[in-house]
Amino acid sequence: MESRIAVIGAGNGGTAIAAHLTRLGAEVRLCDLFPSYLEGIIAEGGITLTENGTSVKYPVSMVTTEVAKAIAGVHLVMVVTPSFTHKMIAEACAPYLEDGQTVVLNPGRTAGAVDFFNTIRKNGCKADVVIAEAQTLVYACRKTGPASVEIFGTKKQVALGVFPASRTAEVLKVLDPLYPQFVPAANCLETSLSNIGALFHPTPVLLNIGRIESDPNDFRYYIDGISPSVARLIHNIDLERLAVAKAYGVTVETAEEWMLQSYETHGDSLYELIQNNEAYHGIKGPHTIDVRYVTEDAPMSLVPISELGHIAGVPTPNIDAVIRLASTIYERDFRAEGRSAKNLGLEGMTVAEVLHFFENGEK
């Protein structure tokens, strides 16, 4: 494969994606704005990827903290960072993006592509670039050391939204040889409102917060942390998400349908599907409440779903309750600092105007 690809972010997903793309024969440039994430990879001369019990070391062609070097002349930029860093990454990329490049957020969480696009334009970028967002990270994975990562499972399909939606086909043509798992979404509203992290992340942390703060023993995040009662609340939050999607004419999967589509699992309820998902068994719970499952997914996932609901006149009382509880516990105003309608430039729009914006990139 003759291709140059920049991967921005050397965390769990970024190292897995960089190693996989190197395995396919791509020239991969791995970039992170924080040098500490790269030191081990530089020292080891590559990334050791473990999958299905087999470990292989893959050398990466470039490892750098300089965005300009990483994205110069590449056709694809894979951004694999928490969504609260998307604005910072967009600001760093804006002066150096080139005509014809595609940027993919892995994942975008909710309204990530729009936020990224608005940011590069505000920072003077006039290049003809397309911004896409994955509905979720293609892997269930964790770094096992400074230069090693293990893939526990790979999702069978991941929806990809493109901004503007009219350019979806050209982005999928670029991605298909690398990740055939990507399937087209109608638009970025579909991927944004298909954000399963909004369901599976903030609520279980809040409902296990005593255990996280006081229990020194590891617990399995999904298997132990999502009990039948926790799953019940997640299910009701999911119903609100589905109602918001319906108001925008977007078809999204239920959490149960998504589980069956993404993993080899079985069960008659959300709780059973989680318990029977082997890919979740190796994922441990956090040791601190300062975890991106809340600090990322409350402002960048739940807030925009709630705000889109407010625009459409759809009530979201359970989602709003989680945002309020998280804001109180963390002593932060997640709604004000997150992807609110105001911060996304959607304030005052009607549902029809929002739909036009996502389809054509024009207000």
Closest to 305 measured CA to CA, from 287, 288, 317, 294: 317
Check if 201 is active-site.
Answer: yes
Main-chain dihedrals φ then ψ at residue 124, nearest 5 degrees:
90, 5
User: Given 20, 115, 201, 238, which residue is catalytic?
Assistant: 201
For tokens 């990224």, the residue is: 116
Contact (Cβ atoms closer than 8 angstroms) between residue 193 and residue 308 = yes
| Catalytic residue (choose from 32, 115, 238, 297) | 297
Task: State the Cα–Cα distance between residues 310 and 308, nearest whole angstrom.
Answer: 5
Phi, psi at 154, each rounded to 5°: -120, 130
Residue partners of 175: CB distance under 8 A and separation at least 6: 76, 104, 160, 182
Amino acid at position 227, single letter: S
With a CB cutoff of 8 Å and minimum separation 6, the contacts of 143 are: 11, 12, 15, 149
Alpha-helical segments (H) within the chain: 12-23, 36-44, 67-71, 86-93, 112-122, 168-175, 188-192, 197-200, 202-207, 209-214, 228-247, 255-262, 270-275, 292-295, 297, 303-312, 317-330, 334-337, 341-344, 351-360
What CA dihedral angle connects 263, 269, 275 and 276, to 10 degrees?
Answer: -50
- Cα 90 to Cα 8: distance, rounded to the nearest angstrom: 11
Beta-carbon-side half-sphere exposure of residue 211 (alpha carbons within 13 Å):
16
Assign 100 to helix, strand or coil.
Answer: coil
Mind telling me the catalytic residues? 201, 297
